[in-house]
Amino acid sequence: MVLTALDWAIIATYFAVSAGVGVWYSSRGSRSINEYFLSGRNLPWWLAGTSMVATTFAADTPLAVAGIVARDGIAGNWIWWSAASGSMLTVFFFARLWRRAGILTDVEFAELRYTGPPAALLRGFRALYLGLPINCVIMGWVNLAMAKILAVTLGWDRLTAVLISLAITGIYSALSGLWGVVVTDFFQFAFAMLGTIALAWFALRLPEIGGLTGLIEKVPPATLDFVPAFTADAASAATFVALPLASFLAYVCVQWWASWYPGQEPGGGGYVAQRMMSAKDERHSFFATLWFTIAHYCVRPWPWIIVGLVSMVLYPTLTDKEAGFVMVMRDHLPAGWRGLLLGAFFAAYMSTIATQLNWGTSYIVNDFYRRFIRVQASDRHYVLVSRVTTLGLMVLSGVVTFYLESIRSAWEFVLESGAGIGLVLILRWYWWRINAWSEIAAMVGAAVGYAAVKLGTDLIFPYTLLAVVGWTTVCWVVVTFLTPPEPEAHLVAFYQRTRPDGPGWKHIAARAGGPPPGSLRGLLIDWAAGVALVYSTLFGIGSALLGSGRVALLYFVVAVACVGVIWVDLSRRGWKTITN
């Protein structure tokens, strides 16, 4: 792809703004470790929520979604659409609790909820496991996506692409801390959305495509279905079938609550929990997570889906379906817009890598180094260690990149290796009987189950997911009832601090001497309405784009009704679920 002086000027301006933000906030991030990792717990909802969605808008995501569409049709996106149920669970059941907990990282929660050596072991292990190997795999697949983009567009080899992209991002992340990350995220999200919308617009205007009407006529009809036609085996279908029934059920009924995945953790967690804990108060935490969920599932994906459909028409024999998105960009964008979209990909890449670096560093420094190595030190010392650790993680993730070949395979590895731990992460907030050994058993059980399935069977994803979830669940449930509960005094202290609702804490609330926990009925109604809101908005926008105006109107009516249900319920209860 040939870039003009205008293209390079746009890219240079983008980098100058991003670097300027990092330098501007460097002094603020140096004030304390609380400022460096949580922005002083003073983020407004719109900034915290946009930072969440910018992080999930990585360089890999448009490529992966376009590849899914080109291979499996629109319905193939259920591999990640299914997680909307878990995201809405976080909105109503966990956003206020994470802000109320008053901790620095979600890994620190281990010693808030549990006590003794098992809690310390759990905290230290999760800090290293999530902060190093898992975090480096995540950054590795994002690096891989950016390397693919730069290889196709500029002809750069993988080493050059990774070194330049990581160096720029790592430096401003290390300097500024979370304030610089989230402010840059806001700018980067707007820039990335503008670029991908522009690509979809120009792709549809190609003579070979003929607009949305021409595109619809040129792809197999089943490609446009939001829900796949079901068979026992997709390979046996005579027509285009996105998913076999078992795969669809695994995504919709199991994956969203059972598996840990960055940005979609059951019960919150990861950088989503970091943003919730950084919000000004519980109300801001709630609205930040609600905005993130709607933007993540409803606003972002349709430009990527459109380009994926276009790539099917333009490159029908393409083997690497994920590269189709970049080839449309390389071959069909006019001058000026090429620089804008390349800058948009840098924006998407940098927003994700910056967050992953800051988030992973928070685990290593706060939950391992500060907890076990250097317990008493100044904030200046911990900030310095955090900056050095950020740069170290940057180097490690670059190394991991050279061992990855497929973005989707890396996605599946993270989903499978953590299959089954999700239910523990949910119930630890709402059932007093969960203890530290429950979480430890879930993590060990998932690792053993994953290894056994991969080495001893011929199962493929998502059937591997179902097997590992079943095994892991049996492991942690048995261990829970074979080990003693946490000490009652510790449970009372946890309950008084976080005040979760539901019958799971009824007798602990009585010991605490306060009013009984609230009912979960209202939260369940709000959650169901929230899930319906996401899917009706998602499919309403899709129907409008694909020419089904009446169907789109029906979806939007359902979406408005869902908003009404949520508003009336929260108003009836005085919004107490998000302002306590």
Would residue 531 count as lying in a domain?
A: no
pLDDT band at 32 (very low <50, low <70, confident <90, very high): low
Would residue 95 count as lying in a domain?
A: yes
Burial per residue of 238-268, b for 16 or more beta-carbon CB atoms within 10 angstroms, e otherwise: eebbbbbeebbbbbbebbbbbbbbbbbbbbb
465 and 342 in a common domain: no
435 and 294 in a common domain: no
Mean pLDDT, residues 274-296 taken together? 92
Give the number of other Cβ atoms within 10 Å of residue 373's Cβ: 10
Would residue 537 count as lying in a domain?
A: no
Where are the alpha helices (H) located in 402-435, listed in sequence order? 407-417, 422-430
Alpha-carbon 196 to chain mean position: 19
CATH code, domain carrying 57:
1.20.1730.10
Pick the most confident of 72-86, 208-222, 341-355, 480-494.
480-494
Would residue 545 count as lying in a domain?
A: no
Contact 81, 297 (CB under 8 A): yes
Of 486, 508, 539, which marks where a domain is finished? 486
Residue 356 or 449, more confident: 449
Of 486, 512, 530, which marks where a domain is finished? 486
The per-residue pLDDT for range 96-109, each reduced to its tens digit, is 999 999 898 899 99
Q: Is the pLDDT of residue 72 over 70?
A: yes
**Angle (CA) 74 79 85, round 5°:** 105
Name residue 279's beta-bridge partners: 43
Element (H, E) at 538: helix 521-545
pLDDT of residue 408: 63
Of 355, 361, 358, 364, whose CA–CA distance to 263 is shortest? 355
434 and 408 in a common domain: no
Instruction: For residues 54 and 382, give the distance between their C-alpha atoms in angstroms, rounded to a whole number.
Output: 27
190 and 65 in a common domain: yes
pLDDT of residue 577: 47
What are the two backbone dihedrals, phi and then psi, of residue 403, each rounded to the nearest 5 degrees? -105, 5
The per-residue pLDDT for range 231-265, each reduced to its tens digit, is 655 444 444 445 677 777 878 888 788 877 666 78
Pick the most confident of 27-36, 188-197, 206-215, 453-462.
206-215
pLDDT of residue 355: 79
380 and 423 in a common domain: no
3-state class percentages of the chain: helix first, strand second, coil last, to nearest 5: 80, 0, 20
Range with lowest mean pLDDT among 154-158, 208-212, 368-372, 441-445: 154-158
pLDDT band at 59 (very low <50, low <70, confident <90, very high): confident
138 and 83 in a common domain: yes
**Angle (CA) 399 355 183, round 5°:** 140
Chain length of the chain: 580
Token pair recorded at residue 555? 């979806």
Mean pLDDT, residues 344-371 taken together? 84
pLDDT of residue 380: 83
Q: Is the pLDDT of residue 271 over 90?
A: no
Would residue 87 count as lying in a domain?
A: yes
170 and 304 in a common domain: yes
364 secondary structure, DSSP code:
I
What are the two backbone dihedrals, phi and then psi, of residue 225, each rounded to the nearest 5 degrees? -70, 140
208 and 338 in a common domain: yes
Name residue 81's beta-bridge partners: none
Residue 255 or 432, more confident: 432
Would residue 494 count as lying in a domain?
A: no
Would residue 394 count as lying in a domain?
A: yes
Token pair recorded at residue 375? 């317990």
Name residue 24's beta-bridge partners: none
pLDDT of residue 56: 82
Q: Is the pLDDT of residue 514 over 90?
A: no
Given phi > 0 = left and psi -120 to 50 = alpha, else beta, which region is 270? left
Q: Is the pLDDT of residue 297 over 80?
A: yes
Range with lowest mean pLDDT among 49-58, 75-84, 569-578: 569-578
417: helix, coil or strand? helix
Element (H, E) at 30: none
Contact 41, 280 (CB under 8 A): yes
Q: Is the pLDDT of residue 410 over 80?
A: no
pLDDT of residue 162: 65
Range with lowest mean pLDDT among 325-334, 422-431, 467-476: 325-334
Name residue 556's beta-bridge partners: none
Number of domains within the chain: 2
- Please give the sequence-ordered ranges of beta strands (E in DSSP) within 112-251, or none if there are none: none
pLDDT of residue 230: 64
257 and 155 in a common domain: yes
507: helix, coil or strand? helix
Contact 101, 276 (CB under 8 A): no
pLDDT of residue 238: 41
pLDDT of residue 30: 56
Q: What would the DSSP string read from start to end of 120-149?
A: HHHHHHHHHHIIIIIHHHHHHHHHHHHHHH
472 and 359 in a common domain: no
Mean pLDDT, residues 345-370 taken together? 84
Instruction: For residues 579 and 100, give the distance between their C-alpha atoms in angstroms, rounded to a whole number.
Output: 10
Mean pLDDT, residues 334-352 taken together? 79
Of 309, 307, 350, whose CA–CA distance to 326 is shortest? 307
Residue 436, amino acid: A
Instruction: For residues 286 and 269, give the distance between their C-alpha atoms in angstroms, rounded to a whole number.
Output: 14
Of 486, 503, 533, which marks where a domain is finished? 486
Give the number of other Cβ atoms within 10 Å of residue 405's Cβ: 10
Mean pLDDT, residues 270-286 taken together? 89
Alpha-carbon 162 to chain mean position: 22
Instruction: For residues 228 and 248, give the distance between their C-alpha atoms in angstroms, rounded to a whole number.
Output: 8
Residue 149, amino acid: I
pLDDT of residue 331: 86
The per-residue pLDDT for range 516-559, each reduced to its tens digit, is 888 899 899 999 999 999 999 999 999 999 878 889 999 999 99
**Angle (CA) 77 78 81, round 5°:** 90
Burial per residue of 539-577, b for 16 or more beta-carbon CB atoms within 10 angstroms, e otherwise: bbbbbbbbebeeebeebbebbeebeebbeebbeeeeeeb
pLDDT of residue 579: 46
State pTM to two decimals: 0.86
Q: Quick one: what percent of the chain has pLDDT higher than 90?
A: 38
- Residue labelled with tokens 């009407």: 213
Name residue 43's beta-bridge partners: 279
pLDDT of residue 181: 74
Of 181, 571, 496, whose CA–CA distance to 347 is shortest? 181
pLDDT of residue 84: 92
Mean pLDDT, residues 465-488 taken together? 94
Determine the angle formed by the axes of helices 301-314 and 211-218, rounding to 10 degrees.
Answer: 60
Would residue 371 count as lying in a domain?
A: yes
70 and 43 in a common domain: yes
pLDDT of residue 578: 46
Radius of gyration of the chain (CA): 23
Range with lowest mean pLDDT among 158-167, 242-251, 415-424, 505-514: 158-167
Q: What is the mean pLDDT of the chain?
A: 84
339: helix, coil or strand? helix
Where are the alpha helices (H) located in 279-417, listed in sequence order? 282-294, 301-314, 323-332, 337-362, 379-401, 407-417
Instruction: For residues 342 and 195, give the distance between their C-alpha atoms in angstroms, rounded to a whole number.
Output: 8
pLDDT of residue 341: 81
- Residue labelled with tokens 């095994």: 471
295 and 226 in a common domain: yes
Domain range for 193 is: 5-416
Mean pLDDT, residues 207-234 taken together? 82
